[in-house]
Amino acid sequence: MAGTDRSRGMIDGAVGPAVVLVQPQLGDNIGSCARAMLNCGLFDMRLVSPRDGWPNPRAIAMASGATAVLDRARVFETTAEACADLNYVLATTTRSRDMKKPALTPRTAAVELRKRVALGQGVGLLFGPERAGLVNEDVTLADAVLSVPLNPGFSSLNLAQAVLLIGYEWYQAEDATPPLTMMDEDSPPVTVKAREFFFTRLETLLDEAGFFYPDHLAPTIKRNLRTLFTRADMSEQEVQTLHGVLKALTEGPRRRSRRDRGTS
């Protein structure tokens, strides 16, 4: 392959962000993304319900030798499962959303990702299907969105282009890592899995209390609540505190009732 010098060896790709391809439609595009990832020293490819199944021979052909990425690719049924072990997730999108989330450019995102990786956090990038991109339910999983500033009259990128562009900024930002003392290591950021468990518990309790009314607005209300908490960049301890709040709100009245009966 032109531009490849195998005598120089492969860079260490163990610490880069995970590239999560949500419902990719063509094996060719997965292979092209693998090639783009290896160009930028990224190895962690995660596939969410690929349309044509996995493994895919067309992906191998289009990868042009990037088997180091394809051999490690993992398949998940849902986006939440693919992101479960990550602490910080960026959703790539060119569309404006009815959500209030921080919006980063690729260059700014690369610096933020480098900072978090240096602190030992798991980070990831979400890319949607080729035809329509990410749906709102996927974007709500992310801590922030990533948009590429291009010609507003024609800003469409194919999947591999988007991966290469953002991966390039990641690779170029290697020397921008700030000191490790910027965050409190005693309170690490919560994982997506732990955060989703809290959301599920909160929604269940609110549903039992009749909070989601009227019914047709329930999905929007739930999405707004999730956006609020993901924007807070919560730590593990903060989520545990919130679990304690829920427990106090649900069990506190029962304890007081039992205590009152015992003293009457």
Task: Express each pLDDT in 149-172 by its tens digit.
Answer: 888 888 888 999 999 999 999 999
pLDDT at 124 > cutoff 90: yes
**pLDDT category of residue 181 using cuts at 50, 70 and 90:** very low
Dist. CA 129–CA 158, nearest whole Å: 10
Cα 148 from Cα 163, distance rounded (Å): 11
pLDDT of residue 152: 85
Using one digit for the tens of pLDDT, what is the confidence trace for 183-236?
Answer: 555 778 999 999 999 999 999 999 999 999 999 999 999 999 999 999 988 999
DSSP H/E element including 251: helix 236-263
Position of tokens 């921080």?
102
- In this prediction, residues 135-144 reach a mean pLDDT of 94
CB 147 within 8 A of CB 109: no
Report residue 220: phi and psi, to 5°: -70, -40
Look at residue 100 in the predicted model and tell me its pLDDT: 85
Q: With a cut of 60, say whether residue 263 has pLDDT above it.
A: no
pLDDT of residue 160: 96
Contact (CB, 8 A) for 145 and 97: yes
Residues in the chain: 264
Closest CA to 206 of 225, 229, 182: 225
Decide: residue 206, CB within 10 A, 0-12 exposed, 13-18 middle, 19+ buried.
middle
* Region 107-127 average pLDDT: 95
Least confident of 14-28, 175-189, 225-239: 175-189
Distance, CA of 155 to CA of 21 (rounded, Å)? 20
Rounded Cα distance between 203 and 134, Å, is 23
Q: Kindly provide the b/e burial profile for residues 10-21, where b requires at least 16 CB atoms within 10 angstroms of the residue's own CB.
A: eeebeebbbbbb
